[in-house]
Structure 1
Amino acid sequence: MTSKKITTAIRRTFIGAALIASAATSVSASAESNTVDQILKSGELRLCFEAGYIPFEMTAKNGQYVGFDIDVAKHLARSLGVKFVPVNTAWDGIVPALKTNKCDFIAGMTVTPERNLSVLFADDYLKMGQTILISPKLKDKIHSYRDLNNKNYTVATQMGTSSAIGAEKYLFNARVDLYDTSADAVLQVMNGKADAFVYDLPYNAMYAAQHKDQVIHLDKPFTFEPMGWAIRRGDHDFLNLLNNYMKQIRGDGTYDRIYAKWFKSDKWLSKVQ
């Protein structure tokens, strides 16, 4: 064998070994990132969310986290025989928290193609959309989002949310101001610094019920937004678990019971901050 052929053979052997090592590393990393195995090993189910999203994730007066998503996740943890661990996280850092394994899944996230590039979504568990709260002084002028799409109006919403995406897409002629939290954004309407607030239907419905003389709710959604649990890409075992769990609770009445508690009653309002 010539020296050239020997060099080529050595190179091929080296490349082959490198590919095998790379594949082994990938398999190892995949095994290590398997969320189902992690949950079983740790005995914990960790949910990332941002408290303050009515009625999905909120802080009760006793300091505990409550809401629709919290109840569903707690029930899932009990079904798996593990402890539920809430991980309250600022929304702009919630996907990085998932990717760095600070939690197992994210609640209260609207499914979008752009987000699907970063995370894997379980089947949607709720379908809703964006609605608008307006100042009472505009009740004779603003009847839908189309009336609000005007350079003379200022719209407030929370940055990094599907609400911000919807506002910028459908209210492109208006001025859209973004705030760190939904609470900060809606206050702009209350204090006269914004004409309208765009956010998810359940949040706006509850807020309008609590502030009947201060805002008017235009309750017809102008977007279609399915909500789903977000998990790490490639985590198909956990995806299978979540989808099958949701089928189970929809079939046995658990989902309807939890939904009625948070969406068809306001008894819990006095217990949250």
Structure 2
Amino acid sequence: MRKMTVIVAALAAGLLAWAAPAAAQVSTLTKVLESGKLRVGTTGDWNPMSMKDPATGDYAGFDIDVMTELARDLGVEIEFVPTEWKTLVPGIVADKYDISTSASMTTQRIRSVGFTSAYYTLGTVPMTQKKNADRFTTWEDINQEGIVVAVTLGTSQEQQVKTLFPKATIRAIEAPARDFQEVLAGRADVSVTSTVEASKLVEVHDVLMIVPVEEPAAPTDIAFLVDQDDQVWLNYLNHWIRIKENEGFFDSLLEKWMPLN
């Protein structure tokens, strides 16, 4: 009888433990408000979204303005946390920052992190030196044996080039170096990047051109990365984005940073 009582007690204890609600997760929103600081992970190498001045360490760009506005509306200070494309997702998972500046939504990334509502759509385009204008005019011109295609490690384009150019040689470049620098140095024939960055790069580097392909590849939404389990934080940010869209805030930034797009 005593043995049965012990078994029943153990089962009851287990049932109560199972039924008891798990400790509620403290939202990042609460942590940010209580700490008075918003930690923003950013690569600082994506013109015009996030650019770091190597001389001063200051950041500028479309996303930097967005994050500055977000911190202002939250009533907190902002701290930019340097990261790289290959560590952008792990940084969110490891709680190194509360949110990241924008990145493309990909099937690989959404396995590990959450994304806010998208606020911009971009595509992928190839770039080359102007002296190669007659060599490359289509996607298929690039997808040839002997052609070297550079891509930055950890970007969404790193996954895309495997499908776009199965015959070409792919060279993944690790930050702080960038793919287009390989083209400038003659170590690669082509590099690939987003439409927004490509438009800026050809303004800065006279020898570069965007290959006049029929249309960009892999159209994708971009948004901010957050903890995928933090629904309170995600809801706040999504509502905030909608409010700012209605106020014309994002339109004003497009005019400031991408006036030709």
TM over 0.5: yes
1:55 to 48, 64, 83: 48
- Matching of residue 256 in structure 1 with residue 251 in structure 2: yes
Return the offset for 1:19: 2.8
- Matching of residue 69 in structure 1 with residue 63 in structure 2: yes
Count of matched residue pairs: 257
Does the CA-based 8 Å contact 1:157-1:182 persist in structure 2?
Answer: no
Q: Which moves more between the two structures, 106-115 or 171-180?
A: 106-115
Task: Give the Cα–Cα distance (whole angstroms) in 2 for the partners of residues 93 and 172 of structure 1.
Answer: 26
Match of 2:194 in 1: 200
- Matching of residue 233 in structure 1 with residue 232 in structure 2: no
1:187 to 178, 181, 184: 181
Deviation per CA, 1:27-86: give whole Å up to 9, x if none.
Answer: 24x12xx11100110111111110111111112354311111000010111111111211
2:32 to 23, 28, 39: 39
Return the offset for 1:20: 5.1
* Cα RMSD (Å): 1.9
Does the CA-based 8 Å contact 2:133-2:211 persist in structure 1?
Answer: no
Does the CA-based 8 Å contact 1:144-1:218 persist in structure 2?
Answer: yes
Does the CA-based 8 Å contact 1:158-1:182 persist in structure 2?
Answer: no
Task: Give the Cα–Cα distance (whole angstroms) in 2 for the partners of residues 182 and 130 of structure 1.
Answer: 21
Task: Give the Cα–Cα distance (whole angstroms) in 1 for the partners of residues 74 and 158 of structure 2.
Answer: 36
1:215 to 201, 208, 228: 208
Task: Give the Cα–Cα distance (whole angstroms) in 1 for the partners of residues 39 and 157 of structure 2.
Answer: 26
Task: Give the Cα–Cα distance (whole angstroms) in 2 for the partners of residues 156 and 238 of structure 1.
Answer: 37
Identity between Structure 1 and Structure 2 (%): 26
Q: What letter corresponds to residue 231 of structure 1 in structure 2?
A: V
Give the TM-score, by structure 2 length: 0.91
Secondary structure at the counterpart of residue 210 of structure 2: strand
Cα distance change of structure 1 residues 224 and 182 upon mapping to structure 2, 3 Å threshold = farther
Give the TM-score, by structure 1 length: 0.88
Gaps of at least 5 residues in structure 1 are 266-273
Gaps of at least 5 residues in structure 2 are none
Deviation per CA, 1:89-113: give whole Å up to 9, x if none.
Answer: 1222222222222211111211112
Question: Which has the larger helix fraction?
Answer: 1
